[in-house]
Amino acid sequence: MKKTDTIIIGAGPVGLFAVHQLGIKGLKSIVIDNLDKAGGQCIELYPDKPIYDIPAVPECTGKELTNKLLEQIKPFKTEFFLNERVEEVKQDRENWIVKTNNNNEFSAPNIIIAGGVGSFEPRKLAVKEAEKFEDKFLFYAVKDKDQFKNKNISIFGGGDSALDWALELSKFSKINLIHRRDEFRGAPHTLSEIKKLEKEGKILIKTPCQLESIGGKDKIDSITVKFDNGKTELINTDIVLSFFGLVMKLGPITEWGLNMNKKTIEVNSENFETNKKGIFAAGDICIYPGKLKLILSGFHEVALAAVECFKRARPN
Ligand code: FAD
């Protein structure tokens, strides 16, 4: 079990600034996020949108803000645990124990929940066979592209992730790109590359159609898709990749015994502590009279939470 001064749940802008506010007080922290990268909504929902309301920064994009926040906390050499969702929070005398879905355990006198609108999770395929093959032959993200070499891969989705992975994996595998509409939403350059590879027979495009079923016993050997005109087609497939975007799920946070108000956690606005001593909430996830869901407000909230965290971590 890893011990630290504060466990930060959520690597959105507020979780990142929490590292700074704790760090300048000499407190160590670790950050856990379900996403594969830091930045929360800024990076996942609007990386290229301009933000105009950060003090002293007339304009920056979601991605630029994230990069600046990461640069600002570099001196604190904080450990990040990405692709991990916090499942369990339990008390151990003066400390809190946090357990993730990867069975990692952390212990600290303080937790700052900067969980935003919940953890971002992939929208899953609706067919009943999907679960049985998940993480073995069916994936919602690519962590190691080498495991997809020399395969028949069926990729679902019409956005950037589906198109980018179709291009990348076509370098060493046969790709079926399947979308429920005829039009794809992607950068013009990517779309023209896809068309080129389609002509060369390296990518087969199937539209407008949807997944009907997945065939195979211990592993996937085919999928069946149904076109809008009612026709079906069996496609030889070893691997299914699905990129239908992300959904936000509040998830396990509701089970930690905290006072909730709809989908937010009630806090005391003097120090952003919840009804549990040593558990704080800041950013979009917290609620108090006058709360504004802005990055700026989250920064203020973690600054005050960090003061209280210091008192608990260094009682003498
Ligand atoms: P988030 O950014 O939501 O990050 C929370 C993180 O916690 C996520 O990465 C999530 O995966 C993680 N998480 C949650 N639960 C768990 C768990 N159990 N385990 C592990 N990880 C977990 N605000 C502004 O001030 N200015 C703007 O111009 C602006 N424009 C916006 C434009 C759009 C389109 C949107 C959607 C929002 C905008 N906002 C803007 C709002 C701003 O993005 C949010 O206020 C801000 O992102 C909140 O930050 P946060 O760190 O609290 O949460």
Query: Is 109 near ligand 1, meaning CB less than 6 Å away?
Result: no
Question: What pTM, to 2 d.p., does this model score?
Answer: 0.80
Query: Is 51 near ligand 1, meaning CB less than 6 Å away?
Result: yes
Query: Is 39 near ligand 1, meaning CB less than 6 Å away?
Result: no
* 212-251: b (≥16 Cβ within 10 Å) or e: eebeeeeebeebbbeeeeeeeeebebbbbbbbbebebebb
Closest Cα to atom 6 of ligand 1 = 10
Closest Cα to atom 19 of ligand 1 = 85
pLDDT mean across residues, the chain = 95
- Whether 143 has a pLDDT exceeding 80, the answer reads no
**pLDDT computed for residue 296 by the predictor:** 97
Centre of ligand 1 from the C-alpha of residue 11, in Å: 9
Residue with tokens 């466990």: 7
Q: Using the atom order of ligand 1, give the atom closest to the CA of residue 294.
A: 25
Could you read off the pLDDT of 152-207 as tens digits, one per residue?
Answer: 999 999 998 899 899 999 999 999 999 999 999 988 899 999 999 999 999 999 99
Our mutation pick for probing the ligand 1 site, out of 41, 52, 254, counting the most ligand atoms within 8 A of Cβ, is: 41
What are the DSSP calls for 165-209, one per residue? HHHHHTTTSEEEEE-SSSS--S-HHHHHHHHHHHHTTSEEEE-SE
